[in-house]
Structures are given as structure tokens and as C-alpha cells.
């Protein structure tokens, strides 16, 4: 009996020693960020690349959804939040201290479709998309869908709508678009990072929706383009105000952003869904990092501002390979101004 | 003699430490309850009974009702018990009444292993093995067999109330089996021997003598299983479909109290939203507490009765 | 029964026959239920092994995860994180749980004892997600930081009732003759407890602690808003930390095949860790009760 107790004790001590022996990184500056799953692939790439050049800074980004990013920055449990749906005025008021929206990337929300029978790319209008998500169109061979897909044999299969179960900026961009093209959507459901869905299956995160669509034949869902491409799910082309059916791509997002970049509002909160212009993809949006203008811990503030500075400059090189659109130069200079305005205990950080 | 006063002082201090630790347990439970109640105060006082009976969960309009999640929790748990009770008690009977002690030990160890598998692994298996299996093979077959019965209506998605209930059944069976086995073992052998002496078959002994004697304990075992089913989070979140609605069909996606909290707790963007989520926690905790307390009392009653 | 088959007894009556048939049906039903109960165990563990083993290698066990979309990487950080969190949980739960169990077994204050016992039982039935909310408001919000400490605390709350109740049960099993003999020799109660009762119940207490450890190590829900997750190897109690069940969940719901494969491998590691703890605890208690 005694030997067992000793054995147990030794095991505990051994594990404790292994843990202490792990190369201590006590001197590293840890930054915790959380929020949009939309940014997650980019942030995880940034964290890894920035860490190579600056091993003293470790950026831990958890993709918990834009709603979570807003909530956790408001509760100050993270050093930066991230969202694809800008904070509302009420939300900003609730945070008490001023919060900056720093755009870090642009992306497309792709409409992912799992129809094993169909190999051709589907063309969908905004209204049809809204009606599917309203539950008014329930089968794939509905005349409204075939109207824009001449020559495609659509199966008599039930549509399984997949949406986010968590608060999400991807949702924000998507429903912001639906509300612009469908008055019924605007009145019945509205626009927010999480809404009361009329139909469908909920899944957590872009990962979850992409996973659900991939797992469920007949499913349609909306995911950030990277997730659709990396998981190999076909996406639909969506009609823009110019009447063209546009596939989601970096190029088409850049075209949508081009118009908006010229007249950005002061606080950089802007919607670019249903943007005019030839070739513009209609379900596009900015993704922002959220941080406090007045920082309290100067070593954190310095590390954070430098990381974001790196992100809006060098970090943009990683956008295109991950299917994000790099920030237009005019937006980058606005970001610079924002980052330079950050103060710590009264004095500028940069 | 000299050491006497010291000793009793040490004794008192020792006893005080033990009491303090005991009070620590009480404090933790009180803390959990207090924290939840104070967080949810706004939603509960604002919504009143409407919070429990409300059908809508609309963070945009800040309209919160718990009924669909409560319904999902109750339906999946009931379904789980429907499957788990006969199988769990049956297995317990096998171990305590029929199998040799060696076989019973082996089965007992295996059942305990089943109980120890972390729920996220159940979820993983449910998502990648059980749900596709049900979607591709079981659900279309059931629909072909029963046609338009509302219980099996809707497209076969593989996730939903039915899948969650089945997965929960697998998870609560070990609880029911283990507790039932203990309860059955507590039935004095004299009871069985008396019945056998009268020429009863094993079935008659169990039905006529063992079960009546163990009834309240078996009820306790079932309620304990129910407790686990009600509070189970991860596995259910992965296979319930996360749809905030009430549907009669077992194939339809739904939601449960615990799954809503797991999905939305880090993201509630307004105080009222957060308060509503805590309110779901109160509803869940309340249901679980009542059932658990009842179960423990029942089981203890049987144990003491059995010893006497 | 065998005698009947041989035919030495008079032919059995129809009534007896139907009773025998009922008994046979009952036996089959019971045995079928055991098979149905054990089938999922085989199915689940079989799948975990078959799908998890291919992705499992030394690199997977020791390295850090790669950025999303890049293949490779491992869960070394999460394995250490889980050990760190579960040991941290024990560090909080054992000093409260073991004396609380001894208190319950002492029966010196029956009414308070009854309350404590009921609270422990109720606490063990509190859904783990609710425990997570509790730890978040208690330890994350005030410190403005998701942390390993908050995660360990949440696990401690889950472990506490298991430890207290197992300790109570095994301390009660110590023969009263032993305590009485020691008391008769003039030893004070606390020394009897520390030097006679606890050593002889030690194995049982250790088994309870190991069982609590493996339960804590497998928990996901309470860690989602406490330990939070991290892609780094951290040992600071004040920083977010990775945990195997969290990684498993995140990988499982992701759309990447590579991450799915890693989720199964993580499941294999987690199951091994948890089941090993359970078996050790079981073996220890079984030996003791003999």
C-alpha cells in the first residue's frame, strides 16, 4: 500500500517537474485576442509569422465569433477583439471607454452548396437567397432557382439551410446583404451578429457551418470564402446590383471595396455589401480589430500596436494566399492614423 | 498528563479544519446558485413566467423565451431514458442475478469504462459515425416504413432530437446500470432464497421479489441517469442541430438549454442577452437539482432499508 | 432443469412450461440488453482507435499546432495543458475534498454532515456548463483575463464532490476496532485520524483522487470560457491555456480533413489518459475491498 502511495507521489512530482522544465517563456509578452472566425485563418498565420520575427511576442487568437469579440473586449477580458460586423452605437456606449475599429482585412462571404448531383456552378439572385433563408423556398428544384439556372438539372431534394449558432460578423455581413435586397428579410429578421433564424441548422463558427454543409447533402450555408475553398465545398455565384452573377474571389471583393474606400467614415465602420460597380461581389465586408484607444498597460499597448502595425503592412502579404483581399492603400493610411492615436496613460504609444 | 490541554486544543483545531472543509463544499454550491441567480435576475424579473413559456430567442429584438430549449432538453432526455432504462436495468439484472461473478466483474468494468469516456468523444463519434449512419441508412428507412407520420417528418439530416436522444441514451446507460446493480445487490439474499424455496423461476424471483424490494432504488438510478442527460452539454451540442424551435419530429433539429449556453455564452453582446443565458442556466440547474436531490434520497432510503 | 430433460420426473404441466418459457425469454432479453449496452463501447473505442492511430506519432504528441489550413502540427501544448489544468484542479479540490470527506465520515455533527452530504451530491449533479459560467464570473471577469487558474478552479468544483464522497466511503470502511484501539492507547483523535485511519484508507482516497483527475481531464464545457485555449505552450496560471478536449472539439467541428484526423488522434490520447486513470482507480479500490 505504501509503495502505491509513493508511486503516485512520484508520478505527481515527475509531471510537475516536466512542466516546470518546459522552456520557460515567462519573459514573453502574451497578447490574447478573440472574436471573428472570419479573421481566424489570417490571424493564426499572422501570429505564426510575426512570432518568427518577434519571438518575444505571442499572440493567442481564439475564434469565438464576432459577438464574442465585442463582448470580451467590452468586458476587457482580452487585449483585442475582432469582428466583421461593426459595433453598434449602443454597444460602443456600453463599453464606456472609446473603442477603435481598425480594419485588418477584407473578405467575401461565400454561399456554400452541397448538391452531389450538380456539378455546374449555381447562379442565385439576392431575393432567391433571402427566400431560401426565410424558409419560403424549400426544395432545390423550385422554379425560382431553376429560373436563373437554365440547363442545370436540379434535384428534387430538400434544402437544408445551415447558419451560425453563435454571434457572428459573417452572419452580419450576410444578413446585411439580405436586408438590402429583400424588404421582407429587413422587416422580419433584421441585421445583427446573431438573429432569430426562420429556418435551418445552427453550427458554431465558420468551421461549424462549413462542416455542416459538407456533412449534409442538400445543404446551403454561408461561410467566409477561405473556409469554403479550404474545405473544398462548391460555392454559388451571386447577382450584384449591376445584374452580373459574380463568384466570390479576392478580385471581386477588391472591386467592391474600391468604391467604399474613397468615402470612408471617420470611425471606419462601413458596410460594403451590395456594392455597385462591374465585377463587384455583393456579399463582401471589412473585418476589424477592436481595441481601446486609451490603454492602461504600456507594455501590452506597445506590443499590440506594433503587432497591428505589422499586420496592416507586412501582414497584408498573407491576405491573397488565404483568399482575403489586401486593404486598399487609402485604407492602410487611415489605419496608420488610428494606430498612432492610441495612447497609454496619456502619452502616445507609437 | 501534561500534554492533555495541548492535545484537546489540537483536537479542536483538527475538528474545526474538517468542519471548515465541509462548509467549503456548501459554500461552493451556494456560490454557484447565487452567481447564477444574480446574473439572471434581470431576465427572470423582466420576463417572469414568460421567460419560461416564451417561444422566441431573438437577440436582435432582445426577446428571450426558454421554452424551445427546455422542450429540447426534456424530449432528448426522455428519449434517452426510454432507451436506456430497459437496457440499463436489464444489464444490471444480468450482472447481479444471472452472470457468474467473474463475468459480472468483466461486464461491470466495461460498463464503467463506457461511463468514463469524456463526453466530447461521444460527440465526435456522434457527429462522424452516428449522424451519417442515421442519415444515410436509418432515417430514410424509417420514413419509408412509417410514411408521413409527424414523428418522423422532415428531411433526414442525421442530426436532431432523435440523434441526440440516442447518443444520450448511450451515455446514461452506464449510470443507470452501475447504480441499479448496487441497488439489486443490496437486496438481501434471504429474500431471493425464500422465493426460490417456493419453486419460483429466476424470472419470477426477480419480478416478484427483487424488483418490488428494490423499486425505489431503481427509480433513483433512473433519475440519476436523467440528471446526467439533462445537463449533458458537449455531445448534445454536436448532434442536436442547434435550431431554436419546437418540432414534433424526431428527425428535426432542435436545441437544449445546455447547448444554447455553450454556443452563446462567450458572445452575448448585451447585458440583457447575458442575463437571459444565465436564466437558461437557472432553469437547467433548477430542474437538475430537484431531480438529483430526489434521486439521492430515494437511493439512500433503499440502502438503509436494505441494511436493516 | 437438467433432470427434467433426462425425463426422470413426471411430464411437466403446461403451466410450468409457460413459466419456463417466460423465464427463458427473460434470460435472452437480459443478455441481449448487455450486448446492446456493450456494442457502443466497442463501436466508439474501435472507431477512436482505427481513426486515431494513423495520425498518432511522436510529432503529434509533442509539437505545436500549425496555422489553419497548413497540414501537420500536433497537440503537445494541449496534452500538457490538460495535465496542468487537472493537476491544478486537484491542488484546489484535494485540500477541501479530503478533509470534507473525513468530516462526513466522522459523524460528529450529524445535521451539518447531512447538509454537507446533500450539497456534495447536488454539486456533482450541477451541469458542467453551469460550473463554467460560475468560474467565468468569479475568476475571469474580475481579473480581466482568461486563465489556466480559472479553468483549474472550474475543474476543481467538478472534482470536489467526487473526492469528498469517495473519501467518506473509504474512511468509513476502516474497521472501528483500529480507531478504538488507538484511542484506548491515549492517542488524540487527530493523530488517530492522521496516523491510523488515513494511512489505512490511503489507497482508497488515492483512487478517488485519480478518478476525479480523469473526470476533470475529460471535461470540455467548463473550460470554454475559463481556460479558453491557446496555440502556445504556456505554464503561467494567469494566461489562457490549451486543453485536449477543447482542441478536440474545435478540430471536430472544423471543415478541414486534416483537423478531423487530428481530432480522432486527440480523442485516442484523451481516452487513453482518462481510461488509464479510471482503471488504476478501479484496480486500487477492488484490491482494497478484498
Q: What is the pLDDT of residue C286?
A: 66
Query: How far is Cα A180 from Cα A196, in angstroms, rounded to an integer?
Result: 17
Is residue A309 located within the same domain as residue A338?
yes
Strands A347-348 and B57-58 turn out to be: unpaired
- Is residue A5 pLDDT above 60, yes or no? no
Q: What average pLDDT does chain C have?
A: 88
3-state DSSP assignment of residue C253: coil
Report DSSP state, residue A347: E
> Residues C77-112: pLDDT tens digits?
999 999 999 999 999 999 999 999 999 998 888 999
Closest CA to A115 of A220, A25, A267, A6: A220
Q: How confident is the model at residue C49 (pLDDT cuts 50, 70, 90)?
A: very high
Q: For residue range C130-182, what is the model confidence (pLDDT) as tens digits?
A: 899 899 989 998 999 999 999 999 999 999 999 998 899 889 888 888 888 98
Please check the confidence at residue B265 and state whether its pLDDT lies above 60.
Answer: yes
Q: Quick one: closest CA in B to C135, which residue? A: B32
Residue C2 has pLDDT above 60, yes or no: no
Per-residue model confidence (pLDDT) at position A4: 40
A141 and A247 assigned to the same domain: yes
Alpha carbon distance B48, A86 (integer Å): 33
* C-alpha separations of B94 from B88, B97, B129, B178 in Å: 10, 6, 29, 12
Residue A238's pLDDT band, with cuts at 50, 70 and 90, is very high
Do C245 and C38 touch, CB atoms closer than 8 A? no
CB contact under 8 A, A208 and C235: no
Q: What is the predicted pLDDT for the residue at B147?
A: 73
Q: How far A259 CA sits from the closest chain C CA (Å)? A: 31
Domain extent, residue C96, equals: 58-289
Nearest CA in chain A to C254: A207
A83 lies in the same domain as A197: no
- Is beta strand A99-114 parallel, antiparallel or unpaired with respect to A284-292? antiparallel
| Same domain as C116, residue C39 | no
Q: How much is the pLDDT for A24?
A: 43
Residue-level pLDDT at B23: 95
A190 CB neighbour count, 10 Å cutoff: 16
Q: What is the pLDDT of residue B216?
A: 80
In whole angstroms, what is the distance from residue C92 CA to residue C84 CA? Answer: 12
Residues C109 and C24 in one domain: no
- Residue A119 resides in a domain: yes
Task: List CB contacts (< 8 A) between C229 and chain A.
Answer: 60, 62
pLDDT of residue C271: 94
d(C-alpha A78, C-alpha C146), whole Å: 8
Percent share of chain A, pLDDT over 70:
92
Residue A341 is predicted with a pLDDT of 94
Torsion from C-alpha of B179, B185, B191, B196, nearest 10 degrees: 110
Q: Is C97 on the interface with B (CB under 8 A)?
A: yes
Going by C-alpha positions, the residue among A98, B10, B32 that lies closest to residue C125 is B32
Q: Are C260 and C272 members of one domain?
A: yes
> Hey, what long-range contacts does B6-15 have (CB within 8 A, 24 or more apart)?
B7/C188, B8/C188, B10/C188, B10/C190, B11/C188, B11/C189, B11/C190, B13/C190, B14/C189, B14/C190, B14/C193, B15/C106, B15/C108, B15/C189, B15/C190
- At residue B19 the predicted structure's pLDDT band, cuts being 50, 70 and 90, is very high
Q: Are residues A257 and A113 in the same domain?
A: yes
Asked whether the whole model's pTM tops 0.80, one would answer yes
A240: CATH:
3.40.190.10
C117 and C213 both lie in a single domain: yes
**Residue numbers in B near A194 (CB within 8 A):** 59-60, 264, 267
Q: Mutual orientation of helices A2-21 and C198-217 as an angle, nearest 10°?
A: 40
- Taking the C-alpha atoms of A263, A267, A271 and A277 in order, what is their torsion angle to the nearest 10 degrees? 20
Residue A61 domain-assigned (yes or no): yes
Nearest to A342 by CA among A350, A334, A331, A330: A350
Q: How far is B77 from chain A (nearest CA, A)?
A: 20
Inter-chain CB proximity C128 and B233 less than 8 Å: yes
Which positions ≥6 away from C51 have C-beta within 8 Å? C261, C264
Q: Tell me what pLDDT residue B48 has.
A: 84
Residue B253 touches partner A, C-beta closer than 8 Å = yes
Digit-coded pLDDT (tens) for B39-50: 898 888 888 888
Contact C227, C81 (CB under 8 A): yes
pLDDT surpassing 70 at residue B234: yes
Whether residue A278 lies inside any domain: the answer is: no
What are the chain A neighbours of B237 within 8 Å (beta carbons)?
204
Asked if C83's CB is within 8 angstroms of A15's CB, the reply is: yes
Q: Note whether residue A129 is domain-resident.
A: yes
Q: Give the DSSP letter of residue B247.
A: -
| C214 and C157 share one domain | yes
- The whole-angstrom distance between B5's CA and the closest CA on chain A is 33
Q: Please answer whether residues A107 and A284 qualify as being in contact, where contact means their C-beta atoms are separated by less than 8 angstroms.
A: yes
Exposed, middle or buried: residue A124 (CB in 10 Å: 0-12, 13-18, 19+)?
A: buried
Is A113 found in the same domain as A84?
A: no
Domain that holds residue A199: 109-261
Interface of B with A in 210-239 (CB under 8 A): 237
Cα gap A293→A342, rounded to integer Å = 5
The Cα C42–Cα C45 span in angstroms is 5
Per DSSP, A199 falls in state S
pLDDT above 90: residue B242: no
Strand order in the sheet with A284-292: A57-63, A29-35, A80-83, A284-292, A99-114, A219-224, A160-164, A201-203
Mutating which of B247, B269, B274, B278 best tests the A interface, going by the most A Cβ atoms within 10 A?
B269
Neighbours of A295 (CB within 10 A): 20
Is A301 in contact with A349 (CB distance < 8 Å)? yes
Chains that touch B (3 or more CB pairs under 8 A): A, C
Domain total for chain C? 2
> How far B304 CA lies from chain A's nearest CA (Å)?
31
Nearest CB to C34; choose among B10, B94, B262: B94
For residue C275, being part of any structural domain is answered with: yes
pLDDT at residue C179, rounded to an integer: 85
**If you write DSSP's letter for every residue of C24-80 in order, what string do you get?**
HHHHHHHHHHHHHHHHHHHHHHHHHHHHHGGG-SHHHHHSPBPPTT---B--HHHHH
Q: Are A61 and A40 in contact (CB under 8 A)?
A: yes
Residues A223 and A255 grouped into a single domain: yes
pLDDT at B7: 59
Residue of B nearest to A158 (CA): B155
Average pLDDT rounded to a whole number, residues A10-29: 52
The pLDDT, as a whole number, for residue B303 is 56
The region of weakest confidence among A198-212, A216-230, A300-314, B157-171 is A198-212
| Residues A143-153, mean pLDDT to the nearest whole number | 92
CATH code of C98's domain: 1.10.3720.10
The answer on pLDDT for B267 being more than 80 is no
* CB-CB under 8 Å, C136 with B94: no
- What is the pLDDT, as a whole number, of residue A21? 44
Within a domain: C5: no
CATH of domain B65-307: 1.10.3720.10
> SS3 for B258?
helix
Confidence (pLDDT) at A6: 45
CA distances from A175 to A95, A228, A237, A255 (A): 25, 18, 17, 20
Nearest beta carbon to residue C225 from set B87, B265, B292: B265
Count CA atoms closer than 13 A to A79's CA, side-chain side: 24
Cβ–Cβ below 8 Å for A4 and C239? no
Q: Are residues A144 and A217 in the same domain?
A: yes
Nearest residue in C to B228, CA atom: C125
Note whether C84 and C199 are same-domain residues.
Answer: yes
Beta-carbon count within 10 A of C14 CB = 8
**Count of domains in chain A?**
2
pLDDT in tens, B114-134: 888 999 999 999 988 998 899
Residue among C87, C202, C234 whose CB faces A15 most closely: C87
Q: How far is Cα B274 from Cα B41, in angstroms, rounded to an integer?
A: 11
Which class for B91: exposed (0-12), middle (13-18), buried (19 or more C-beta within 10 A)? buried
> Cell 444471472, residue?
B98
Residue C123: pLDDT over 60: yes
Same domain, C29 and C81: no
Do A77 and C235 count as a contact with CB atoms less than 8 A apart?
A: no
CA-nearest residue to C96 within chain B is B21
- Residues A98 and A120 both lie in one domain: no
Among A167, A190, A201, whose Cβ lies nearest the Cβ of B241?
Answer: A201
Domain membership flag for residue A277: no
pLDDT at C86: 95
Q: Is C5's pLDDT higher than 90?
A: no
Tens of pLDDT, residue by residue over A265-312, are 889 998 889 988 889 999 999 999 999 999 999 999 999 999 999 999
Could you please report the per-residue DSSP string of B229-245?
HHH--HHHHHHS----S
State whether A68 and B267 contact (CB < 8 Å): yes
**Tens digits of residue pLDDT in C184-238:** 988 888 888 888 888 888 888 988 898 899 889 999 989 988 999 998 888 888 9
C290 contacts chain A (CB < 8 A): no
Phi, psi of C46 (to 5 degrees): -60, -50
C21 and C142 in one domain? Answer: no
Give me the pLDDT at residue C239, please: 92
* Global ipTM: 0.86
Q: How many CB pairs under 8 A join B and C?
A: 272
Residues pairing with A57 in the sheet: A29
Measured between CA atoms, how close is C191 to chain B, in angstroms? 9
Residue A246 pairs in a beta bridge with A238
Residues of A in Cβ contact (< 8 Å) with B263? 165-166, 202, 204
Amino acid at each position: 500500500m505504501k509503495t502505491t502511495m509513493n508511486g503516485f507521489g512520484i508520478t505527481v512530482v515527475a509531471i510537475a517537474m516536466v512542466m516546470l522544465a518546459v522552456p520557460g517563456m515567462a519573459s514573453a509578452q502574451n497578447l490574447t485576442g478573440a472574436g471573428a472566425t472570419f479573421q481566424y485563418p489570417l490571424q493564426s498565420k499572422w501570429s505564426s509569422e510575426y512570432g518568427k520575427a518577434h519571438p518575444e511576442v505571442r499572440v493567442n487568437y481564439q475564434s469565438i465569433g464576432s459577438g464574442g469579440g465585442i463582448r470580451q473586449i467590452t468586458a476587457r477580458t482580452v487585449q483585442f477583439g475582432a469582428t466583421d460586423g461593426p459595433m453598434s452605437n449602443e454597444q460602443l456606449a456600453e463599453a464606456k471607454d472609446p473603442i477603435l475599429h481598425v480594419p485588418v482585412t477584407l473578405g467575401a462571404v461565400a454561399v456554400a452548396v452541397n448538391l452531389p448531383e450538380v456539378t455546374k456552378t449555381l447562379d442565385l439572385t439576392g431575393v432567391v437567397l433571402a427566400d431560401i433563408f426565410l424558409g419560403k423556398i424549400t426544395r432545390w428544384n423550385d422554379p425560382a432557382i431553376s429560373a436563373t439556372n437554365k440547363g442545370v438539372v436540379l434535384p428534387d431534394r430538400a434544402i437544408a439551410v445551415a447558419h451560425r449558432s453563435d454571434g457572428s460578423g459573417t452572419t452580419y455581413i450576410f444578413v446585411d446583404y439580405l436586408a438590402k435586397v429583400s424588404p421582407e428579410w429587413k422587416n422580419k429578421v433584421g441585421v445583427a451578429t446573431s438573429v432569430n433564424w426562420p429556418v435551418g441548422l445552427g453550427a458554431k463558427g465558420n468551421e461549424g457551418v462549413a462542416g455542416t454543409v459538407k456533412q449534409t447533402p442538400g445543404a446551403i450555408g454561408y461561410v467566409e470564402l477561405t473556409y469554403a475553398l479550404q474545405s473544398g465545398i462548391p460555392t454559388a455565384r451571386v447577382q450584384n446590383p449591376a445584374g452580373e452573377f459574380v463568384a466570390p474571389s479576392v478580385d471581386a471583393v477588391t472591386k467592391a471595396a474600391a468604391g467604399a474606400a474613397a468615402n470612408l467614415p471617420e470611425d471606419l465602420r462601413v458596410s460594403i455589401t451590395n456594392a455597385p460597380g462591374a465585377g463587384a461581389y455583393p456579399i463582401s465586408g471589412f473585418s476589424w480589430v477592436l481595441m481601446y484607444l486609451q490603454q492602461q498597460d504600456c507594455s501590452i499597448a506597445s506590443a499590440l500596436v506594433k503587432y497591428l502595425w505589422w499586420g496592416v503592412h507586412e501582414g497584408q502579404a498573407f491576405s491573397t494566399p488565404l483568399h482575403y483581399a489586401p486593404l486598399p492603400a487609402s485604407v492602410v493610411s487611415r489605419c496608420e492614423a488610428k494606430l498612432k492615436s492610441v495612447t497609454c496613460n496619456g502619452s502616445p504609444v507609437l | 498528563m501534561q500534554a492533555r490541554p495541548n492535545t484537546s486544543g489540537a483536537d479542536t483545531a483538527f475538528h474545526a479544519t474538517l468542519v471548515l472543509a465541509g462548509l467549503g463544499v456548501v459554500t461552493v454550491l451556494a456560490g454557484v446558485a447565487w452567481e447564477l441567480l444574480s446574473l439572471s435576475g434581470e431576465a427572470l424579473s423582466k420576463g417572469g413566467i414568460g421567460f419560461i413559456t416564451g417561444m422566441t430567442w431573438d437577440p436582435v429584438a432582445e426577446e428571450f423565451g426558454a421554452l424551445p430549449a427546455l422542450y429540447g432538453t426534456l424530449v432528448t432526455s426522455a428519449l434517452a431514458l426510454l432507451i436506456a432504462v430497459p437496457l440499463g436495468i436489464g444489464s444490471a439484472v444480468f450482472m447481479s442475478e444471472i452472470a457468474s461473478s467473474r463475468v459480472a466483474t468483466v461486464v461491470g468494468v466495461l460498463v464503467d469504462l463506457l461511463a468514463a469516456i469524456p463526453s466530447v468523444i461521444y460527440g465526435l463519434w456522434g457527429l462522424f459515425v452516428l449522424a451519417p449512419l442515421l442519415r444515410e441508412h436509418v432515417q430514410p428507412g424509417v420514413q419509408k416504413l412509417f410514411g408521413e407520420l409527424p414523428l418522423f417528418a422532415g428531411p433526414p439530416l442525421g442530426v436532431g432530437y432523435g440523434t441526440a436522444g440516442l447518443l444520450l441514451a448511450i451515455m446514461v446507460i452506464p449510470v443507470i446500470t452501475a447504480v441499479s446493480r448496487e441497488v439489486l445487490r443490496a437486496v438481501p439474499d434471504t429474500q431471493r432464497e425464500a422465493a426460490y424455496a417456493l419453486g419460483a423461476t429466476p424470472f419470477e424471483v426477480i419480478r416478484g421479489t427483487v424488483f418490488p424490494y428494490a423499486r425505489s432504488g431503481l427509480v433513483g438510478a433512473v433519475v440519476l441517469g436523467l440528471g446526467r442527460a439533462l445537463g449533458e452539454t458537449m455531445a448534445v451540442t454536436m448532434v442536436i442541430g442547434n435550431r431554436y424551435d419546437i418540432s414534433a419530429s424526431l428527425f428535426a433539429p432542435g436545441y437544449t438549454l445546455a447547448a444554447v449556453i455553450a454556443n452563446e455564452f462567450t458572445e452575448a453582446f448585451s447585458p440583457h442577452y447575458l442575463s437571459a443565458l444565465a436564466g437558461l442556466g437557472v432553469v437547467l440547474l433548477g430542474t437538475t437539482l430537484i431531480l438529483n436531490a430526489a434521486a439521492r434520497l430515494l437511493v439512500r432510503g433503499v440502502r438503509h432499508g436494505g441494511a436493516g | 432443469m437438467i433432470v427434467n430433460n433426462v425425463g426422470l420426473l413426471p411430464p411437466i404441466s403446461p403451466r410450468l412450461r409457460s413459466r419456463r418459457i417466460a423465464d427463458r425469454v427473460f434470460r435472452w432479453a437480459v443478455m441481449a440488453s448487455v450486448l446492446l449496452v456493450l456494442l457502443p463501447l466497442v463501436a466508439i473505442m474501435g472507431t477512436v482507435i482505427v481513426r486515431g492511430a494513423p495520425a498518432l506519432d511522436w510529432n503529434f504528441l509533442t509539437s505545436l499546432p500549425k496555422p489553419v489550413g497548413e497540414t501537420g502540427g500536433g497537440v503537445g501544448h494541449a496534452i500538457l495543458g490538460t495535465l496542468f489544468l487537472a493537476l491544478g484542479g486537484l491542488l484546489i479540490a484535494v485540500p477541501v475534498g479530503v478533509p470534507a470527506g473525513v468530516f462526513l465520515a466522522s459523524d460528529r455533527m450529524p445535521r451539518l454532515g447531512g447538509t454537507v452530504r446533500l450539497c456534495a451530491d447536488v454539486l456533482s449533479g450541477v451541469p458542467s456548463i453551469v460550473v463554467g459560467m460560475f468560474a467565468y464570473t468569479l475568476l475571469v471577469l474580475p481579473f480581466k483575463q482568461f486563465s489556466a487558474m480559472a479553468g483549474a478552479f472550474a475543474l476543481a468544483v467538478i472534482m470536489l464532490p467526487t473526492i469528498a464522497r469517495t473519501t467518506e466511503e473509504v474512511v468509513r470502511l476502516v474497521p472501528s476496532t483500529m480507531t478504538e484501539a488507538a484511542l484506548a492507547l491515549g492517542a488524540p483523535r487527530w493523530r488517530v485520524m492522521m496516523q491510523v485511519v488515513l494511512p489505512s484508507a490511503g489507497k482508497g482516497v488515492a483512487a478517488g483522487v485519480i478518478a476525479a483527475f480523469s473526470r476533470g481531464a475529460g471535461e470540455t464545457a467548463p473550460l470554454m470560457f475559463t481556460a479558453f485555449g491557446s496555440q502556445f505552450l504556456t505554464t503561467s496560471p494567469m494566461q489562457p491555456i490549451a486543453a485536449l478536449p477543447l482542441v478536440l472539439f474545435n478540430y471536430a467541428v472544423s471543415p478541414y480533413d486534416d483537423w478531423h484526423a487530428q481530432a480522432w488522434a486527440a480523442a485516442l490520447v484523451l481516452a487513453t489518459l482518462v481510461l488509464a486513470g479510471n482503471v488504476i482507480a478501479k484496480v486500487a479500490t477492488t484490491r482494497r475491498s478484498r
